[in-house]
Structure 1
Amino acid sequence: MSDEPTGLVRPDRRRPEPLWHQAEMALRDLIDQGEWGAGLQIPNEDRLCEMLGISRITLRHALRNLEEAGMLRREHGRGTFVRSATMVAGVRGLTSFTDEMQSLALSPGTRLLAAYTIAATGEIARALEIPEGEMVVQLRRLRLGNGDPIGIQTTHLPAARAPGLFEAASEIGSLYRWLKDNAGIVPVKAKEVYRVGAVASGDAADLELPVGTPAFEVERITFDQRSPFEFAVSTMRADRYEIRSTLYV
């Protein structure tokens, strides 16, 4: 993959469209035209940035949109590949855990297990579209319904966007409500990935389940009008948390 694709159209800063959109369209064209076929591994981020003449953050925005569109898939430790056609089914409203529990007639609850200020690792930085090493607030919380454990959620937010969050962590019930009231952050969309997983040894006691019990593993990236502001990884009890979808012809 060292040779530059012949059909590549490099983003032009003189054009009115955002660079991330131009990059997304350039990569999409390579896939649509068959220059990058299904199953092919695309160049790594450094090479793509060089080919397109854009920053890593701009590139990640474009790649994330193509992943969401089902055109690319990222495999941990291997790279990013062109995928065959996929079906996306099941659309849910964007709500906080608190609102979701209340809609199910359950009393929501949250217990803060830990709060840290840490430097963003590569995975966190990619999700939040921030430079690696930038400070983020990490909240590890036990989510409850009617006092029973539902799941454990580890949330990461850019510290610069939510001043005071770390100090207020132990008092927060609904995170989204706190962000709206104190940082002016209002979610407009989120992207979620659900996988089948198992309860890890560090989560078993709080979830009141044996180690290895089947569970949902959920990754969520939440956006406001400006950029992604939350990257959350959750382990949800499969016997107390359901995914429901309405499908139409």
Structure 2
Amino acid sequence: MRTKEAAPPKWRRIAETLAAELQAGAWKPGDRLPGEYALAERFDVNRHTLRQAVSHLENEGLLRAEQGRGIFVPDPPIHYAVTPRTRFSDNVGRAQRRPSRQLIKSSEVPADAAIAEALEVPADTTLIRLETMSFADDRPVGIVSHYFCKARVPAIVEAFKAERSITAALRRCGVPDYKRRTTRISAQLISNADARLLGVRRGRAVLVTDSVNIEPDGRPIDYGHGRMLGDLMTFVVEF
């Protein structure tokens, strides 16, 4: 006697239907899907069931849900070149996107052992920390914490507020050029605080970069700790 197979859960059937529609070109990259309420009504399910389907498609890289904005078909990831001349604006511009940055907050902090070593300053040296959000076409793609020695660039906060660019802000502070010394790349799940700031759900993967930029004479000028949304960025190491 054959055992009757259980029907797949509703959320999986919804996910399969939406995936087929995406494959057929019902929506293009960058398009926003109908809202949660409309989709739940279409499939005659509650919003919790719909969110299970959307979450599954997010994990598959087929959809992207943004808090307060909606459900989108993701654009192709930005190929972010990691080179001695790494610049956020250049990488985003090459992808035909519009780059911008926003200051979340600034503060003065003592250098911990790891950052002091990276910046080649004594531990507890006063640093200026800039917490910045990076955008591509007005869409948040990541957060970077920059650390500068206050004695070297005391006006970096005001300069960044005026320029909205690390490169331009450093130039305004008397640092005409810099290059990348090291970049360490790892992956982790997004923190709750970063998820709230970026307007994404908890559990998203982020690519973490810990980098050191140096002046032409070799002195470290900037230590950066970045968290970029993994489905929006692909890091390419160029030699």
Q: Distance in 1 between matches of 2:236 and 2:179?
A: 21
Runs of 4+ in 1 over 2 A off after TM superposition: 90-93, 166-172, 244-247
Query: Which residue does the alignment assign to 1:144?
Result: 135
Tell me, yes or no, if structure 1 residue 209 matches structure 2 residue 197.
no
1:228 is aligned with what amino acid? P
Contact 2:160-2:169 within 8 A present in 1 as well: no
Q: Which amino acid aligns with 1:239?
A: D
RMSD, aligned α-carbons: 1.9
- Give structure 2 stretches of 5+ with no counterpart: 1-80
Shift of 1:178: 1.8
Q: For the residues of structure 2 that align with 1:108 and 1:179, how far apart are their CA atoms?
A: 18
Asked whether the equivalents of residues 215 and 236 of structure 1 are also in contact (C-alpha less than 8 Å), the reply is yes
Equivalent-residue separation in structure 2 for 1:144 and 1:235 (angstroms):
13
Alignment-derived partner of residue 231 in structure 2: 239
Larger Rg: 2
Per the alignment, residue 213 of structure 2 pairs with: 222
Q: 1:215 to 1:188 in 2, by over 3 A?
A: closer
1:110-150 Cα offsets, whole Å, 9 max, x none, are 11111011211112101100011111110001100000011
Distance 1:246 1:233, change over 3 A: closer
What is the identity, as a one-letter code, of the residue corresponding to 2:234?
A: E
Do the aligned partners of residues 229 and 245 (structure 1) sit closer, same or farther apart at CA in structure 2, a change above 3 Å counting? closer
Pairs aligned (count): 158
Is 2:76 the counterpart of 1:96?
no
**CA displacement 1:27-53 (0-9 Å, x = unmatched):** xxxxxxxxxxxxxxxxxxxxxxxxxxx
Q: CA deviation at 1:181?
A: 3.2
Letter in 1 for 2:225: V
Aligned residue in 2 for 1:36: none
Closer, same or farther: CA 185–133 of 1 in aligned 2, 3 Å: farther
Distance 2:83 2:180 in 1: 11
The 1:167–1:244 alpha-carbon spacing in structure 2 relative to 1, beyond 3 Å, is: closer
TM (norm. structure 2) is 0.61
